[in-house]
Amino acid sequence: MARPFKSPKAASTPRPAKPQPSAPVSADDADAASASRAGQRLHKLLALAGFGSRRDMETLIESGRITINGQVALVGAVVDEHDVVRLDSRILHLPFEAELPQVLLYHKPEGEMVTQDDPEGRATVFDKLPRIKQGKWIAIGRLDMNTSGLLIFTNSGELANYFMHPRYEVEREYAVRILGELTPEQMSQLTQGIELEDGPANFESIHASGGEGANKWYQVVIKEGRNREVRRLFEAYHLPVSRLMRVRFGPVALPPRLKRGTMLKLEQKQVVALLEWAGLPVPRKPLKQLSPHEKDRATRVFVPKVRKQRRSLLETANASATPEQRPARAPTANRRIRQESDLVQASRQNARLNTGAKKRNDRNR
């Protein structure tokens, strides 16, 4: 029996090699890599995700804590949607399409610190911030513990960088109450500039706004945020500042309905206007349509609640110390110390109650 004719086997095509993890791209080769691969700079995506400013993200990448597909990332690396980016073994979900950031206004009262970690365990503004799903809250500018007024929070590192970077010279307006009064010559000199310990400084403008008795109010505008700059400018003329409140930061003014200790979330259109003012790209996604009830709830002034209780380092050390190492607690004069007779009396009372309950149960049977 004749066998059917068999055609010769076609040459098998070579198996495609498995894609190897992409190596980190250095700053010198970033332009060449971006030309051959559609991606975005890593530090830019981290800033968009709200982890900090671009400069902070470059410092974070230099620390070696960021990896791309298992390889340590370098400054200027380019990533796309298929790369796995980790921070200390935690996978990061980066926004390759920019989303509309969140902006929160807070009327800070005196006595709160603008820091995320205070060694003395004092109250901070970050203890009251609502939880956020993407990124983290970034404080735009700082106010010392004795200064109140407008404080802005956002999860956009680029927007925060534009507000705070010295080259953009964003105006900050303060209402200042001093003990005394400036002369016209002193007001003119403050606008021209005087020498401080860390260099010359000046007000962009200064106007008297009344006052009673020895206390006088002034409205001042500066374009930089050096430490205690407003107070030091007045103290140069031996005029101590008794009250300092920030009423405006750039185009954002302190709303009259935002009372001390309350917060307010900006509307979507107001956030878009801020991005356009800063020259930042506006997300292409359409704005989320909110019902009147949702819109009213989203933009309602609310009083923040403390999410956690902070303890000082002294309390933490005492809690972790052994009973022998803890300081002895002095008994108060009105405090009654439990004695052995109290325990005997309590045990007799419990015995009587148990006996009565047993008799009742026998009757019910």
Report the alpha-carbon distance of residue 97 to residue 344 in Å, rounded: 73
| Of the candidates 140, 114, 118, the residue with the CA atom closest to the CA atom of residue 128 | 114
Our answer to whether residue 144 is catalytic in this structure is: yes
Strand partners of residue 91: 86
Report the alpha-carbon distance of residue 93 to residue 81 in Å, rounded: 9
Two tokens, residue 138: 């970034």
Are 78 and 34 a contacting pair, CB within 8 Å? yes
Report the alpha-carbon distance of residue 62 to residue 194 in Å, rounded: 39
Residue from 31, 144, 198, 342 carrying the catalytic annotation: 144
Two tokens, residue 69: 């597909």
Report the alpha-carbon distance of residue 159 to residue 152 in Å, rounded: 11
Strand partners of residue 106: 151, 263
Q: Where are the beta strands (DSSP E) in the chain?
A: 40-41, 66-68, 71-72, 78-79, 85-87, 90-91, 103-108, 138-140, 148-154, 172-179, 194-196, 199-201, 205-208, 215-222, 241-249, 252-253, 263-265
Is residue 173 left, alpha or beta, with left meaning phi > 0 and alpha meaning psi from -120 to 50?
A: beta
Query: For the chain, what is the radius of gyration of the CA atoms?
Result: 32
Q: Where are the beta strands (DSSP E) in 13-113?
A: 40-41, 66-68, 71-72, 78-79, 85-87, 90-91, 103-108
**Which 3 state secondary structure label does DSSP give 174?**
strand
Instruction: Enumerate the active-site residues.
Output: 144
